[in-house]
Amino acid sequence: MTDQLVIGGHPFNSRFILGSGKFSLEIVKAVVENGGAEIVTLALRRANHGGEENILDYIPKNITLLPNTSGARTAEEAVKIARLAREINCGNFIKVEVIRDSKYLFPDNYETIKATEILAKDGFVVMPYMYPDLNVARDLVSAGAAAVMPLASPIGSNKGLCTRDFIEILVSEIPVPIIVDAGIGRPSQACEAMEMGVAAVMCNTAVATAKNIPLMAKAFGQAIASGRNAYLAGLGRVLTHGEASSPLTGFLED
Res 46: pLDDT: 56
Ligand-binding site membership of 92 (annotated): no
Prediction pTM value: 0.88
Ligand-binding site membership of 156 (annotated): yes
Does 211 qualify as catalytic in the annotation? no
Ligand-binding site membership of 205 (annotated): yes
pLDDT tens-digit series, residues 124-136: 999 999 999 999 9
Side by side, the strands of the sheet bearing 179-181 are 149-150, 125-130, 93-96, 64-68, 39-43, 16-19, 200-203, 179-181
Is domain 5-233 annotated with CATH 3.40.50.2000? Answer: no
Q: What is the mean pLDDT of residues 46-61?
A: 68
Pick the closest to residue 137 from 165, 171, 88 (CA basis). 171
Per-residue pLDDT at 179 exceeds 90:
yes
Q: Which residue has the higher pLDDT, 161 or 246?
A: 161
Compute the distance between CA of residue 247 and CA of residue 192 in angstroms, rounded to an integer.
31
Task: Check if the beta carbon of residue 215 is closer than 8 Å to that of residue 28.
Answer: no
Per-residue pLDDT at 55 exceeds 80:
no
Q: Which of 29, 80, 95, 121 is catalytic?
A: 95
pLDDT tens-digit series, residues 196-231: 999 999 999 999 899 999 999 999 999 999 999 999
Average predicted confidence (pLDDT) for the chain? 89
Q: Categorize the per-residue pLDDT at 47 as very low, low, confident or very high, splitting at 50, 70 and 90.
A: low
Res 28: pLDDT: 83
Ligand-binding site membership of 163 (annotated): no
Domain-by-domain residue ranges, the chain?
5-233
**Backbone dihedral angles phi then psi of residue 83, each to the nearest 5 degrees:** -70, -35
- Gyration radius from the chain CA atoms: 20
Buried b (16+ CB within 10 A) or exposed e, 146-175: bbbbbbbbbbbbbebbebbebbbbbbeebe
Per-residue pLDDT at 1 exceeds 80:
no
Strands (DSSP E) contained in 77-235 are: 93-96, 125-130, 149-150, 179-181, 200-203
